[in-house]
C-alpha cells in the first residue's frame, strides 16, 4: 500500500526535504546542501542519494511512496520543464523526467513560491480555504495564486509574481527585474527601509529611527508599536500601497483569503490590521469580505506544498 509522500524544496543554499504520511503529517524533515558547481548538475543526484538512504534507514520500500512534489526557484511549465534556474545554474530541461529516472517514483515539479502557497493552503494559514492568494513579504515580494485548490502558474510560470505589479508609474529607481515602480520596491523588507529613509528625510519631527544606523523593517514595526509617529507613517505608507494592490488582485480572482508570509509577517496582527484597513478603503464592495491571515509554516511551507503536490499524483 502507498503510505508516504515526499516534499522537496530546492533553494539556492539548501535543499529541504520532508517525509509525510498520506494525511500530510510531517514524519521527518532534513536538509542537504545545494551543490551548485558545474551548473548544478549534481543537485538531483544528491537529492536521490539522500532520499534513498533515509528510506533505507527507515525500512520504507519505494512501492510505499505515492510520489514527490518538488519546488524549484524559477518558472516551471506544467510538464516539469524549468525555463532555466539562475540561482542553481540550471539550463532549460525537464526536472520531472530527470528526477523520476533517478528516484524511480512519480514526480511533480512547481515553482517554489507557488509550492509554498500550496503548503500554506494544505496545512498552514490558508487551511480550510480553496481560493487563496499567498503574499510573501521577504527580501523581495513573492506570491502564489490558488483557485479551487489549484495553483495558477500561467503560460510561462509567471502567474503569482505579484511583487512585480506596477504600482507607481513615476518611480525613478529600477527594481531587480529591471522595470520601475514594482510593488516589491515599497513593500518588501528592503522596500520598507527605503520608505523609512525617504520619510525620515522629508519630515523634520523627532523619531527613534533617526538614532538607528542600519534601519531594518523590524525596527520600523517595533517602533510603530511603541507609537513612534514617524515609524507609524512608514507603516501607513507601506500598508496603503500593499492594501490597494491587494484590492486590485481581489477584483481579478476574488479569493477567500490573503495569507501573508515572509520575514516581514513576523510583525503579526498589527501588520494584518493595517493592510486590511487600507484594503477595505480600496476594495470593491463584493470583495470586502476577504479574510487576512498570517502564514504559519515558515520555511517548511515548501515541503508541505510538495507533499500536497505528491498527493495529487
Ligand atoms: Zn520588478
147-182 per-position pLDDT tens digit: 999 999 888 878 899 999 999 999 999 998 899 999
Distance from the alpha carbon of residue 164 to the mean position of ligand 1, in angstroms:
4
Cell numbers at 110, concatenated: 512547481
Instruction: Say yes or no to pLDDT of 74 above 90.
Output: no
Instruction: Say yes or no to pLDDT of 48 above 90.
Output: yes
Phi, psi of 92 (to 5 degrees): -75, 120
Distance from the alpha carbon of residue 245 to the mean position of ligand 1, in angstroms:
14
Distance from the alpha carbon of residue 141 to the mean position of ligand 1, in angstroms:
9
pTM listed for this prediction: 0.92
Residue 191's pLDDT band (cuts 50, 70, 90): very high
Which residues lie across from 182 on neighbouring strands? 166
DSSP letters, the chain, are ---EEEEEEE-SSEEEEEEEETT--EEEEEEEE---HHHHTTHHHHHHHHHHHHHHHTT--GGGEEEEEEEESS-B-TTSEEEEETTTTEEEEEHHHHHHHHH-S-EEEEEHHHHHHHHHHHHSTTTT-SSEEEEEESSSEEEEEEETTEE---SSS-TT-GGGSB--TT--SBPTTS-BSBTHHHHSHHHHHHHHHHHHHH--S--GGGG-SS--HHHHHHHHHTT-HHHHHHHHHHHHHHHHHHHHHHHHH--SEEEEESGGGGGTHHHHHHHHHHHHHH--GGGTT-EEEE---GGGHHHHHHHHHHHT-
Return mean pLDDT, the chain: 95
Cα 151 to Cα 142: distance, rounded to the nearest angstrom:
14
Distance from the alpha carbon of residue 179 to the mean position of ligand 1, in angstroms:
5
Phi, psi of 105 (to 5 degrees): -135, 160
Distance from the alpha carbon of residue 220 to the mean position of ligand 1, in angstroms:
23
Closest CA to 175 of 158, 161, 159, 157: 161
Distance from the alpha carbon of residue 253 to the mean position of ligand 1, in angstroms:
21
256-312 pLDDT, tens per residue?
999 999 999 999 999 999 999 999 999 999 999 999 999 999 999 999 999 999 999
Distance from the alpha carbon of residue 181 to the mean position of ligand 1, in angstroms:
7
Given the DSSP bridges, would you call strands 65-72 and 107-111 parallel, antiparallel or unpaired? parallel
Distance from the alpha carbon of residue 139 to the mean position of ligand 1, in angstroms:
13
Distance from the alpha carbon of residue 201 to the mean position of ligand 1, in angstroms:
25
Cα 180 to Cα 263: distance, rounded to the nearest angstrom:
24
Cα 256 to Cα 131: distance, rounded to the nearest angstrom:
5
Distance from the alpha carbon of residue 306 to the mean position of ligand 1, in angstroms:
27
Distance from the alpha carbon of residue 195 to the mean position of ligand 1, in angstroms:
16
Lowest mean pLDDT among 82-86, 89-93, 160-164, 236-240: 82-86
Amino acid at each position: 500500500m502507498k503510505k508516504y509522500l515526499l516534499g522537496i524544496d530546492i533553494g539556492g543554499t539548501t535543499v529541504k526535504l520532508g517525509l509525510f504520511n498520506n494525511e500530510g503529517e510531517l514524519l521527518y524533515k532534513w536538509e542537504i546542501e545545494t551543490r551548485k558547481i558545474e551548473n548544478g548538475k549534481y543537485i538531483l543526484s544528491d537529492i536521490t542519494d539522500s532520499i534513498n538512504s533515509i528510506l533505507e534507514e527507515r525500512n520504507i520500500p519505494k512501492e510505499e511512496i505515492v510520489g514527490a512534489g518538488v519546488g524549484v526557484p524559477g518558472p516551471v511549465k506544467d510538464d516539469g520543464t524549468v525555463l532555466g534556474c539562475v540561482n542553481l545554474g540550471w539550463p532549460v530541461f525537464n526536472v520531472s523526467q530527470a528526477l523520476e529516472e533517478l528516484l524511480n517514483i512519480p514526480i511533480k515539479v512547481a515553482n517554489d513560491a507557488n509550492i509554498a502557497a500550496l503548503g500554506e493552503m494544505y496545512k498552514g494559514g490558508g487551511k480550510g480555504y480553496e481560493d487563496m492568494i499567498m503574499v510573501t513579504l521577504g527580501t523581495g515580494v513573492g506570491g502564489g495564486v490558488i483557485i479551487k485548490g489549484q495553483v495558477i502558474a500561467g503560460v510561462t510560470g509567471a502567474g503569482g509574481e505579484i511583487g512585480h505589479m506596477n504600482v507607481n508609474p513615476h518611480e525613478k529607481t529600477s527594481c531587480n527585474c529591471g522595470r520601475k515602480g514594482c510593488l516589491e520596491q515599497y513593500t518588501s523588507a528592503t522596500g520598507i527601509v527605503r520608505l523609512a529613509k525617504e520619510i525620515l528625510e522629508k519630515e523634520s519631527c523627532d523619531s527613534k529611527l533617526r538614532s538607528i544606523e542600519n534601519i531594518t523593517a523590524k525596527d520600523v514595526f517595533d517602533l510603530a508599536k511603541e507609537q513612534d509617529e514617524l515609524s507609524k507613517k512608514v507603516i501607513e505608507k507601506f500598508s496603503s500601497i500593499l492594501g490597494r494592490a491587494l484590492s486590485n488582485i481581489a477584483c481579478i480572482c476574488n479569493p477567500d483569503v490573503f495569507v501573508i508570509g515572509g520575514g516581514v509577517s513576523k510583525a503579526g496582527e498589527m501588520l494584518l490590521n493595517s493592510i486590511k484597513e487600507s484594503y477595505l478603503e480600496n476594495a470593491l464592495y463584493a470583495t470586502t469580505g476577504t479574510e487576512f491571515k498570517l502564514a504559519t509554516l515558515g520555511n517548511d511551507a515548501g515541503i508541505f506544498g510538495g507533499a500536497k503536490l505528491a498527493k495529487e499524483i
